Structure 1
Amino acid sequence: MPLVLLLAFFLGWFAVLLGSWLLFSRRRAPQGGPLPGPPPRVSILIAARNEEAAIGRCLQSVRALDYPPECLEVLLGDDASTDQTAAVAQAAMQGFAGSFRILSITDTLGSARGKANVLAHLARAASTDVFLITDADISLPASWVRGLVGHLRPGLGTVTGLTLVAGPRLFDRLQGLDWLMSLALVQMVSDRGQPVTAMGNNMLITRDAYEAVGGYESLPFSVTEDYELFRAVLAKGFGWLNLFEPAVLAESLPVATWRGLLHQRRRWLRGVEGLPWHIQLGLIYYAGYYPALLLAAGLWGGAAVLGILAAKMLAQGLLAGSAYRKVGRRAPLHLLPLFELYTLAVTAGLTGFRFSRRPFEWKGRRYSR
């Protein structure tokens, strides 16, 4: 009986992965409409805390946007930075033809804390009807605003773009492979009509949707503030759209250390724990691959395990190839053997972190929930 159950598990697991690849590879991206003339004014909201090393890169990409600068309102919230974030940002935006302001965030609004509190202040200061939210460690493509705004339609509350981790180190490239394959799976689920999440470093939300939920200051505090906002917007009956296309592909700086990566993933896990039960059940089944592989080693031997690992890398290679191809990038398929070790280490490290009940850090602050 254990042999039959184990075989059924792996057959089902590979059916899910290959089925996801097939559906994703055959998907057609939704077509955005032409922008009205003149283009709508939009507000770009950026929360920053001790980001002097990254904020200049982010704002240079804002200045390079293919959108009339007079239609851009850029609001940067300085969240009690102890470095030169504000000075670097001011210098980077010197002579900008659009509107740019730095807001020093010194108090809290309602239940909002951390990044959510910064965004709550920025949304109150914004003067347009369309909010585009990104992070200080993001570099935006020139087509970003047009790519998001072009998909707006009546009743739509959020439009979520796509983000890829990019950096020169091996650790950086493994994070990039991890992100894009994960987002491809999220996109496949979203395409089936099941909302999963928004992404707080690359998203559009309309003023109507934001104000309908009362803003961040009215939402329960969450370290995954983007998911909390997304869920509240859906509850108000607004539509949503996730995009997987080059026009909205932003690049994020990688997490620099292994410790930082585990703390990032522990924070994300808080959002996963709030997903609908059937999605959580699917994620648990997917994560059961390594325990099942360990069991297979005892029952079937090393040769069978190597064959299962090779099949997994082949299936993931198909998914990665489709994901990178759809955004106009070359998939680093040669990294898949190392990616297997990376995935195993992240899974084991995050599992231990989760059950240790230790607090995690985010932007220099500690959180226990």
Structure 2
Amino acid sequence: MFIPFILIIAILLTLFYVWLILLYRRWFVRLKPFVDAIETQPAVSFSIIIPARNEAANIGACLKSITAQNYPSHLIEIIVIDDYSTDNTAAIVQQWQQQYTNIQLIDLSKESRDATTNSYKKWAIERAIHYARSEWIVTTDADCVAGKNWISSFAKCIEKEQPILIAAPVRFIYYPTLLGAFQYLDFLSLQGITAASVSAGWHSMCNGANLAYQKAAFFSVNGFTGINHIASGDDMLLMNKIKQQYPGKTTYLFHPNAIVLTQPVFSWYELLHQRIRWASKADKYEDKSIFGVLLFVYLYNLVLFIMPFLAFFDWRILIYWMILLLIKTLTELRFMKPVSRFFGENHLDWFPFLQPIHIAYTVIVGWLGKFGHYQWKGRRVV
């Protein structure tokens, strides 16, 4: 009796999953790249905030891409927050300061800290915003690089759509290894869902590596107050607060010029801890549509994870599992193809072979995100 019950559950979950992924695909393919044919004189000012902890290997490339923006430098302020680095991150930033007067360096160790804060990154961003002079805040990471029209695309979006918050696309830099391909494709799917759902007005999703919002709005929602005890969530949890106070004023900047490239991690251990950190905020969202989808996806992958073990009791289970896995893979590929075209690189050949790894990874990370702890940037977070 137990085996047929599991099969029925697996089939029903698969049918719902197929419907959900095809819904995301429909939302994604109807997206049109942002177009602003009217050329206006740049007027919007930006404070670009870059938290950095032991980023000596990356901060130079990040600053190089930002200082090369096709946008007036007097309208761009760059604030790097050195988060207790033990390498020469600060020294590299100081070298760039000698050439560019619009770069500011803040030593986080000299800033007063709220005792309730459990996130150094939120604390870093909050302190930087207090120093920021511009009307718009843009956050990115120290291991990111942007194209020369990145800030210009934000400015045009602001002038045309008058939003309060803008989510924008992020893509991992691809490395032709198993780990590199796995991260690239997993993150690509998340970015595709972000673009689709934000544009459809369903989820409050974004990534802090490429996010812009009005400074006044940050203070209006009391910044990270109420969420600063959560180690992660400087992006999506903040977006949710802003969306609640300013309904209809969040948007997604769907244009290749807005894409920011970021480095993946370089070990499975780092990947596990990174994704546990991301998963740790899953039940903290006020936007219950996100939590509902995450819970469903977890349960679906959990059933798929269990099924091969049940084949020891009935070998036919394995046949059903392979059929369901094929359906899942083909459905996801149908979604991933237009997403891959937008982001400009096609590495989908890896996709079918990574499915078993991804199922196990989803189950493990989801569980540890709720009940475990992780190490990140040399800090242990419970």
TM-score, reference length from structure 1: 0.90
Quickly say closer, same or farther: Cα 1:48–1:291, change in 2 above 3 A.
Answer: closer
Counterpart amino acid of residue 164 in structure 2: G
Residue 301 of structure 2 corresponds to which residue in structure 1? 290
Distance 1:312 1:218 in 2: 38
User: Does the alignment pair 1:138 with 2:152?
Assistant: no
Quickly say closer, same or farther: Cα 1:220–1:330, change in 2 above 3 A.
Answer: closer
Residue 22 of structure 2 corresponds to which residue in structure 1? 18
Equivalent residue in structure 1 for 2:57, among 27, 50, 53: 53
Residue 82 of structure 1 corresponds to which residue in structure 2? 86
- Is the 1:52–1:83 contact (alpha carbons within 8 Å) kept by the matching residues of 2? yes
Deviation at 1:77, TM superposition (A): 1.0
Equivalent residue in structure 1 for 2:163, among 148, 156, 161: 156
Distance 2:277 2:327 in 1: 31
- SS of aligned partner of 2:140: strand
Residue 43 of structure 2 corresponds to which residue in structure 1? 39
- SS of aligned partner of 2:191: helix
Quickly say closer, same or farther: Cα 1:34–1:262, change in 2 above 3 A.
Answer: farther
Deviation at 1:218, TM superposition (A): 7.3
Give the alignment of 1:262-281 within 5 angstroms.
262-275=272-285, 276-281=287-292
Distance 1:358 1:198 in 2: 24
After superposition, give the CA deviation of every residue in 1:9-31 in whole Å (9 maximum; x if it has no partner).
32222222223223322332444
Quickly say closer, same or farther: Cα 1:309–1:283, change in 2 above 3 A.
Answer: same
Give the alignment of 1:120-199 within 5 angstroms.
120-152=126-158, 156-170=163-177, 171-199=179-207
Residue 306 of structure 1 corresponds to which residue in structure 2? 322
Counterpart amino acid of residue 59 in structure 2: I
Counterpart amino acid of residue 364 in structure 1: G
Distance 1:213 1:33 in 2: 34
Deviation at 1:267, TM superposition (A): 1.4
Counterpart amino acid of residue 143 in structure 1: N
Equivalent residue in structure 2 for 1:321, among 334, 337, 354: 337
Distance 2:143 2:80 in 1: 13
Residue 104 of structure 1 corresponds to which residue in structure 2? 107
After superposition, give the CA deviation of every residue in 1:221-265 in whole Å (9 maximum; x if it has no partner).
322222232222223225211233311111111012212112111
Distance 1:216 1:352 in 2: 26
- Is the 2:96–2:103 contact (alpha carbons within 8 Å) kept by the matching residues of 1? no
User: Does the alignment pair 1:9 with 2:13?
Assistant: yes
Deviation at 1:344, TM superposition (A): 2.3
Aligned residues: 365
Counterpart amino acid of residue 240 in structure 1: T
Quickly say closer, same or farther: Cα 1:180–1:255, change in 2 above 3 A.
Answer: same
Equivalent residue in structure 2 for 1:234, among 222, 243, 246: 243
After superposition, give the CA deviation of every residue in 1:303-330 in whole Å (9 maximum; x if it has no partner).
3322322222222222221101123x13
Deviation at 1:138, TM superposition (A): 0.7
- SS of aligned partner of 1:225: coil
Deviation at 1:131, TM superposition (A): 1.1
Counterpart amino acid of residue 245 in structure 2: K
- SS of aligned partner of 1:288: helix
The percentage of aligned residue pairs carrying the same residue is 22
- SS of aligned partner of 1:135: coil
Distance 2:346 2:254 in 1: 15
Quickly say closer, same or farther: Cα 1:337–1:64, change in 2 above 3 A.
Answer: same
Quickly say closer, same or farther: Cα 1:265–1:320, change in 2 above 3 A.
Answer: same
Distance 2:219 2:190 in 1: 31
Distance 1:103 1:127 in 2: 14
Distance 2:240 2:167 in 1: 13
After superposition, give the CA deviation of every residue in 1:327-357 in whole Å (9 maximum; x if it has no partner).
3x132111013321331232233145246x3
Residue 201 of structure 1 corresponds to which residue in structure 2? 209
Distance 2:48 2:39 in 1: 18
What's the C-alpha RMSD, in Å, of the aligned pairs? 2.5
**Runs of 5+ consecutive residues of structure 2 not aligned to the other structure:** none
Quickly say closer, same or farther: Cα 1:152–1:4, change in 2 above 3 A.
Answer: same
Residue 125 of structure 2 corresponds to which residue in structure 1? 119
User: Does the alignment pair 1:249 with 2:256?
Assistant: no
Give the alignment of 1:350-369 within 5 angstroms.
350-354=365-369, 357-368=371-382
User: Does the alignment pair 1:340 with 2:355?
Assistant: yes
TM-score, reference length from structure 2: 0.87
Distance 1:249 1:155 in 2: 20
Equivalent residue in structure 2 for 1:331, among 324, 331, 346: 346
Distance 1:246 1:322 in 2: 13
